[in-house]
A and B are shown apart, each in its own frame.
Chain A
């Protein structure tokens, strides 16, 4: 429980500060830290494979794409976007309401206590599950990733000169 509390605190703090900062690069780096925190949670829960996959995908791949996007879309003379707009108060109210609703529902509902033992579900079992009952879904995911890659390339590359405003 103490480990969980520490992981949760670090993750939430990193995410909260990241979303409040004005410097986009700092925001992105702090969000990456919170993704690492989520991976630590997976490790704590005993999902080893998912934890490493989370680090590999989020810290290794998505973060790179995010940083590239930040650098490519940076205004030439950094007038940083105003962090607060007219939507700040309703936004915070909505977020707080959702948090209150969810937390209240979680705390008031009878949930199974579960066991303290870490489930025996290793890499081999996960692989068998993925390749035997979920083989179709795995293939579909592969197709989805390929299509997404091609789509992203087409979108980001544009059509050349005539595409300019």
Chain B
């Protein structure tokens, strides 16, 4: 296994963990954290390909990760505000109970 493959497998495992959290847990905060984990796994891939790619001096991967970090911060802020709004409406944060719009 070359270093690049090791990095990619690491990121794939992290992504799957995030996916399992999103699918299995019913707490909205944990689901959101699972999404964050998947996002981080994607960032990890960018850095890995930058490090072992053909043109590291161009720094595309790093630039992309910087933007992704900013977007992740925005996503976390809005997502957790949504969780708090959800809690105000139904007094808990179980996603299974959020079915008011269910026809």
- Whether A and B touch (Cβ < 8 Å) is answered with yes
Interface centre among A50, A87, A107, A134 (most CB of B within 10 A): A50
* A19 and B25 contacting across the interface, CB-CB below 8 Å: yes
Is B6 in the interface zone, CB < 8 Å from A? yes
* B34 and A19 contacting across the interface, CB-CB below 8 Å: yes
* B73 and A61 contacting across the interface, CB-CB below 8 Å: yes
Chain A, range 107-124, C-beta contacts under 8 Å to B: 107, 111-115, 118-121
What bracket does the count of chain A residues touching chain B fall in?
A: 35 or more
Provide a sorted-by-A list of 6 A–B residue pairs whose CB atoms are within 8 angstroms.
A15-B14, A18-B33, A115-B52, A119-B56, A134-B63, A164-B88
* A106 and B5 contacting across the interface, CB-CB below 8 Å: yes
Number of interface residues of B (CB under 8 A): 76
Chain B, range 1-38, C-beta contacts under 8 Å to A: 1-10, 12-21, 23-27, 29-30, 33-34, 36-37
On A, residues with C-beta under 8 Å from B are: 1, 4-5, 8, 11-12, 15-16, 18-19, 24, 27-28, 31, 34-35, 38, 41-42, 45-47, 49-50, 53-54, 57-58, 61-62, 65-66, 68-70, 72-73, 75, 81-85, 87-88, 90-92, 94-96, 98-99, 102-103, 106-107, 111-115, 118-121, 125-126, 129-130, 134, 137, 141, 144-145, 148-149, 151-153, 155-156, 158, 163-165
| Distance, CA A119 to CA B70, complexed state (A) | 23
- Residues in A with CB closer than 8 Å to B67 are 134, 137, 141
* B75 CB to nearest chain A CB (Å): 8
Which residue on B lies nearest to A80, using beta carbons? B27
* B13 and A99 contacting across the interface, CB-CB below 8 Å: yes
* A130 CB to nearest chain B CB (Å): 6
